[in-house]
A = this chain, B = another copy of it.
Amino acid sequence: MSSGGLTIGDAAARAGLPVKTVRYYDEAGLVRPGRGANGYRVYGETEVHKLAFLRRARGLGFSIEACRALLSLYEDHGRASADVRRLALDRVAQIDDKLAELQELRQVLVELVDACQGDTRPDCPILDRLSGEEVP
């Protein structure tokens, strides 16, 4: 009777992750498989679920450390949903910071692009700006 143990390749396939990533998560202590007599990693259903959980969390941009926290809340059936919510809100705040930064950069770049003729002549407000000329 098979114990349901999967090799890393099968586990990775079921979780939808590259084998390298699964190995990395092991090394990082996120999902620790057992080991067979031959030294192979052995993944059970629980581990496969955790791997898939990690795939989705990473897909939302949570860092490995945030994933570690999420995973431990996932396994803690006595958790407070507030703790999970806080992690998600932190991630939203991170995203908002990045969005603001990128929007600002985009604004500046678009203005420069619009000011540039973009023809065969060398005159270029973009380079002028990068070389520090005042553009009042």
- A residues near B (Cβ < 8 Å) are 49, 52-53, 56-57, 60-61, 70, 73-74, 76-82, 84-86, 88-89, 91-92, 95-96, 98-99, 102-103, 105-106, 108-110, 112-113, 116-124, 126-127, 129-132
A82–B61 Cα distance when bound, in Å, is 36
Taking CB atoms, residues of chain B closer than 8 Å to A109 are 60, 88, 91-92, 95
Decide if the interface of chain A is mainly helix, strand, loop or mixed.
helix
Asked if B103 and A99 sit within 8 Å, CB to CB, the answer is yes
Asked if B88 and A112 sit within 8 Å, CB to CB, the answer is yes
Instruction: Work out how many copies of this chain go into the complex.
Output: 2
Asked if B132 and A56 sit within 8 Å, CB to CB, the answer is yes
Asked if B123 and A70 sit within 8 Å, CB to CB, the answer is no
Shortest C-beta distance, A27 to chain B (Å), equals 22
Shortest C-beta distance, A20 to chain B (Å), equals 22
With A76-B122, A85-B118, A88-B126 known, 14 other A-B pairs at CB within 8 A are: A49-B132, A73-B127, A74-B130, A79-B124, A80-B121, A81-B122, A81-B124, A85-B117, A88-B113, A91-B109, A92-B109, A95-B106, A96-B106, A99-B106
